[in-house]
Amino acid sequence: MTSLRKPQASSLLVLVSTPWQLFCALGLLFGPYRHARRRLVLIDQRGDRRDPWLPLLQSLNLPGLQISSLPAIGKSPLRKLLRTRVVLRQIAALVDETQPDEIIGGNDRRVEFQYAMAHANRRRYTLGAYLDDGTFSYSGLSSLRPRRYENLLRRLERWSSRMHYGSWYDKPTSLGSSRWVEYAWLAFPQHAHPQLATKPRLALDPYWYRRSEVQALCQRLIEGSQGAAITRGFDSLLILPHDHLLRADPALRAALSQRLDQALRNGQSVAVKRHPRSSDWLLDVDRSHLAELDSRLPIEAYAPWLGQAQIVGTLSTALLSLRWLCPDARIEALSQHGSLADPLLGLYQRLGIGVDAPAPKLLPPVNDPVWLLVG
């Protein structure tokens, strides 16, 4: 891994658009950059899909940390035409106000990050960094569903993007590889995809996320959404995928149902958190005795209470994040239709995540263990 000096920015601008990016950013803001002037901006905020962290963060009054949000530009040509200039003017105003020495973005393909870098560097040199965006940081793909004529489409997209935005826009083929990124913050820097591996990389330290400030934020988020605080850790965790995967793969649905049924038969108390976009209960188990957790909250918020949990799920970013944040947890991924072709299969195995392993025998309940199902 290429070496890089520790952060020395006195003024920092961080742009994030997903709950995973935001959680990663919290560690930086309360860790290595805690003494800098910090501006955290949640971009791509939509009225019907606002980040659940935003109201909590905006209610805080933390010295040296300012919280802002920007509306989504949209993907349709009409929305881009109507909204792009409005959002970019807001980006320019934030850069002028913050005067950052460094700008960190969770997705360097986003026009908001690239324009912030271009605008900041018109006045003075500003360092640009990439913040871990989950599985794409390690697969090197821009999509897990490659398209036909991918190379031709990429050239056309790059040309049309420059025509629409300007010469400052550089659409990279893989996340983290644009010319605006000089180094990267990653959960697993040694496993970065080949293009990102050519740049200096720093590790996101799990210790930062165990700091009292971050754990207090997680506790307040959970308490605010559910009306009760978490008072003890979880013993086991079962992660449910999206509804369409359960419908398309009866074998996977049966395996997950069997794990849940076995936990109930062992007399364990079980809590349920379905996938954020789940609308139906599809497991073949009665849920009348299950406690449901808020499906809108990210799994990372629960990490401080997972400890040495036994975690079972499917191939997902959730398993990667829990492997990073809960190094002592026992993590297993159940196979699903098409999973043998997953480009990240090798990464899961290298990180010690068992893939399609036989169902382990559950240990007898100790200290009233809890099973948690998370989406």
Q: Enumerate the domain spans of the chain.
A: 11-210, 230-374
Tell me the β-bridge partners of 105.
15, 130
Tell me the β-bridge partners of 38.
12, 65
Task: Assess whether pLDDT exceeds 60 at residue 371.
Answer: no
Alpha-carbon distance of 51 to 46, in angstroms, equals 9
Domain at 11-210: CATH architecture: 3-Layer(aba) Sandwich (3.40)
Better-predicted residue by pLDDT, 165 or 265: 265
189 to each of 96, 192, 347, how far by Cα in Å?
Answer: 32, 5, 12
Domain 230-374, CATH class in plain words: alpha beta
Over residues 324-344, the mean pLDDT reads 77
Q: Identify the sign of the CA torsion 358, 348, 23, 141.
A: negative
Alpha-carbon distance of 333 to 320, in angstroms, equals 11
Q: What is the mean pLDDT of the chain?
A: 82
Fold agreement (11-210, 230-374):
yes
pLDDT of res. 334:
86
Q: Identify the sign of the CA torsion 162, 166, 167, 170.
A: negative
Over residues 298-310, the mean pLDDT reads 83
pLDDT of res. 363:
36
Least confident of 57-71, 86-100, 144-158: 144-158
Report residue 150's pLDDT band, with 50, 70 and 90 as the boundaries. Answer: low
Please tell me the pTM assigned to this model: 0.84
Task: Assess whether pLDDT exceeds 60 at residue 244.
Answer: yes
Task: Assess whether pLDDT exceeds 80 at residue 101.
Answer: yes
pLDDT tens-digit series, residues 270-281: 766 788 888 888
pLDDT of res. 357:
43
